Chain A
Amino acid sequence: GAVVSQHPSWVICKSGTSVKIECRSLDFQATTMFWYRQFPKQSLMLMATSNEGSKATYEQGVEKDKFLINHASLTLSTLTVTSAHPEDSSFYICSAGDGTSDYNEQFFGPGTRLTVL
């Protein structure tokens, strides 16, 4: 199956700093990638849909100025958490589809655990 990587796998930062998370599709091209956030014991929450070469589509309630998404190429999307605060501490997961399966299966990256002190 298709492989999606994320970097870093975990990060600890001070409140007020910015953190960038990278999501890469390693062996396929992804015109669309998805960014999710998951708090402990809760389900995945879609934050935004990242489209190569255009602006991301954000879900209701997600601040686009705080969570900056850049889909620079067909294999790379980045999520930058700006001016991070402790309430932004969460598990951030990206996913992408290679568009070859009938049901457009999403392949998930391993996730990035963000802790803001």
Chain B
Amino acid sequence: GQNIDQPTEMTATEGAIVQINCTYQTSGFNGLFWYQQHAGEAPTFLSYNVLDGLEEKGRFSSFLSRSKGYSYLLLKELQMKDSASYLCAVKDSNYQLIWGAGTKLIIKP
């Protein structure tokens, strides 16, 4: 079966750095997405990786290793508004998005 694993919840301090990991086993791979979802709202796009390596976009970076079935989202200089759930999603061989359960990130002052 297809499976995406991410930690259920993480806590970090304002101004610090946090890394959210995602491992996947899917039938084929056509890219990995990270989305941010605030409570009661729809997800918003953060990043996309299809080749191995690090993609940097401001305070957020995303890394992919296809051979390991592994990705992480790195958030720097954390702000209180970064408190949200972070969803990892993989596009499989049928170009269907398979979603992880999300990681709830709690930022403390």
Interface residues of A (CB under 8 A from B): 1, 42-46, 91, 93, 95, 103-111, 113
Contact = CB atoms under 8 A, between A and B. Distances in A.
B44 interface: yes
Tell me the dominant secondary structure on chain B's binding face.
loop
Contacts of B45: 1, 105-107
Nearest to A59: B96
A108 B52 CA distance: 26
A43 B87 contact: yes
20 contacts: A43-B99, A43-B102, A44-B43, A44-B87, A44-B99, A45-B99, A46-B96, A46-B99, A93-B43, A103-B33, A103-B91, A104-B95, A105-B45, A106-B45, A108-B42, A108-B43, A111-B40, A111-B41, A111-B42, A113-B40
B44 A108 contact: yes
A53 to B, nearest CB: 20
A103 B47 CA distance: 10
Contact of B97 (A46, A91, A111, A113): A46
Nearest to A94: B42
B42 A106 contact: no
Interface of B: 31, 33, 40-45, 48, 50, 87, 91, 95-97, 99-102
Given A103-B50, A105-B45, A105-B48, 8 more contacts: A43-B99, A43-B102, A44-B43, A44-B87, A46-B97, A95-B42, A107-B45, A110-B42
Contacts of A107: 45
Nearest to A6: B42
A41 B40 CA distance: 11
Q: Shortest 10 CB-CB distances between A and B: which pairs?
A: A108-B42, A43-B101, A111-B42, A103-B48, A43-B99, A44-B99, A93-B42, A110-B42, A108-B43, A103-B31
Contacts of A103: 31, 33, 48, 50, 91
